[in-house]
Amino acid sequence: MKRYAIVRNARTQHEAEAYLPANYSVIWEGYEPSSATRLVWVIEGEDDHGWTLDGYVIPRYASGLIGCEEIDLSHPVMKKVPA
């Protein structure tokens, strides 16, 4: 099952990608719908063994003071992500 998350406070896409295991990737970079100045990234992936969104990815971002929260397809930012 694909899982999605929004990443905030990374400085660049390279930094957003650096925290991800191979089973997750950045699929979109843009401005958060509620802010024309806040750059965010959407990540997508599937949990694989211990490499999970809630057990590895989100805590790893938190260790670098980068925000990450799981979202679903109904989140407003997903309307901006190309299909």
pTM: 0.94
Domain annotation for the chain: domains and CATH numbers: 3-79 (3.30.70)
Query: What does the pLDDT average to over 35-39?
Result: 85
CA dist 76 and 6 (Å) reads: 11
* pLDDT of 33 above 90: no
Stretch 3-11: mean pLDDT, rounded? 97
Hey, what amino acid is at 37? T
Mean per-residue pLDDT of the chain: 95
User: What are 51-66's pLDDT values in tens digits?
Assistant: 999 999 999 999 999 9
